[in-house]
């Protein structure tokens, strides 16, 4: 016998009562090793989570110019989405960002050199922080590695409403390095995110000279196959049938000439008429 009834569709009104009525409990006469499986209870509806607004305190710590109360949340997220190319370009400028660090000695900041950019007019937004993502239950000081990912604090403040205000980033300077505050972030599963590739600034495309396309030789139409000339003999005369030599205008030898057929003998007319009368019974 089955320990629990078969699963029923969720939208069935009689599913819970049917499952509870058909659920059999073990009798006292059964063995001690028999175990029961509890019935599967599914909710009828799923509650929608509460929608939280952007935390102005976290937004003020990341971008003070966007922390005004009169700026709507939708406008902030839309403006940040338009700046995604500049943020990705800024992350790609990091030269020697470590992909993983040991949890036993996580530093407070990570100093990363910046690649030089020789192209003018390219807008870049360097990252402000770095996340040290590790498995849940492995905090700083334990054995293991933490994956390092550069981030922008304003993005986390605009989309992660439950997040506490992040520490202030390092002040901007004209040096060839940037110091990123390292934030431990334990996760249930270690994400497999790809590190950004290096920035590849493409030069402006060159205009090709307007030249006519090269001429191609005309294609020959397929014609009848050509006859191959038979190889010549040692004596200098061509080898082949008589008509081949005649086509070239060479005279035929006597042994190459075909013999003529002798004409059939003619019978006298009177004899032929007599034979015809006999055959017809005349």
To which H or E segment does residue 76 belong? helix 73-82
E strands within 20-128?
A: 100-102, 109-113
Closest by CA position to 130, among listed 114, 107, 164, 104: 107
Radius of gyration of the chain (CA): 49
Residue 56 contacts residue 150 (beta carbons within 8 Å): no
- Specify the pLDDT at position 180: 92
To which H or E segment does residue 185 belong? strand 177-187
Q: What is the pLDDT of residues 169-187, one digit of tens each?
A: 888 777 788 899 998 888 8
| Greater pLDDT, 123 or 256 | 123
Residue 77 contacts residue 159 (beta carbons within 8 Å): yes
| Percent of the chain's residues with pLDDT above 70 | 55
Q: What is the pLDDT of residues 154-170, one digit of tens each?
A: 998 888 888 888 888 88
pLDDT at residue 201 above 50?
no
Q: Is 87 helix (H, G, I), strand (E, B) or coil?
A: helix
Q: DSSP letter string over 7-31?
A: P--TT-TTHHHHHHHHPPPPPTTS-
Residue 185 contacts residue 134 (beta carbons within 8 Å): yes
- Specify the pLDDT at position 130: 92
Spatial separation of the C-alpha atoms in residues 43 and 12, rounded to whole Å: 12
Closest by CA position to 53, among listed 80, 71, 35: 71
pTM: 0.50
């Amino acid at each position: 016998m089955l320990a629990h009834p078969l699963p029923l569709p969720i939208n069935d009104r009689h599913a819970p009562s049917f499952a509870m009525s058909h659920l059999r409990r073990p009798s006292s006469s059964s063995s001690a090793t028999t175990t029961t499986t509890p019935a599967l209870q599914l909710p009828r509806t799923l509650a929608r989570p509460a929608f939280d607004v952007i935390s102005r305190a976290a937004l003020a710590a990341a971008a003070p110019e966007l922390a005004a109360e009169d700026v709507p949340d939708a406008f902030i997220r839309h403006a940040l989405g338009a700046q995604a190319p500049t943020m990705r370009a800024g992350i790609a400028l990091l030269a020697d960002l470590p992909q993983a660090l040991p949890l036993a000695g996580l530093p407070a900041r990570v100093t990363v050199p910046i690649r030089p950019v020789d192209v003018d007019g390219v807008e870049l937004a360097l990252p402000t922080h770095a996340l040290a993502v590790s498995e849940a239950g492995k905090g700083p000081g334990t054995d293991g590695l933490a994956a390092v990912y550069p981030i922008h604090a304003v993005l986390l403040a605009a989309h992660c409403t439950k997040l506490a205000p992040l520490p202030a980033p390092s002040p901007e300077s004209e040096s060839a390095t940037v110091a990123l505050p390292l934030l431990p972030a334990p996760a249930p599963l270690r994400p497999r995110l790809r590190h950004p590739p290096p920035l590849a600034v493409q030069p402006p495309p060159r205009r090709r000279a307007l030249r006519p396309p090269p001429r191609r030789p005309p294609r020959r139409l397929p014609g009848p196959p050509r006859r191959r000339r038979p190889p010549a003999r040692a004596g200098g005369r061509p080898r082949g049938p008589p008509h081949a030599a005649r086509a070239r205008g060479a005279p035929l030898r006597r042994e190459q000439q075909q013999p003529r057929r002798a004409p059939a003998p003619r019978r006298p007319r009177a004899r032929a008429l007599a034979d015809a009368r006999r055959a017809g019974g005349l």
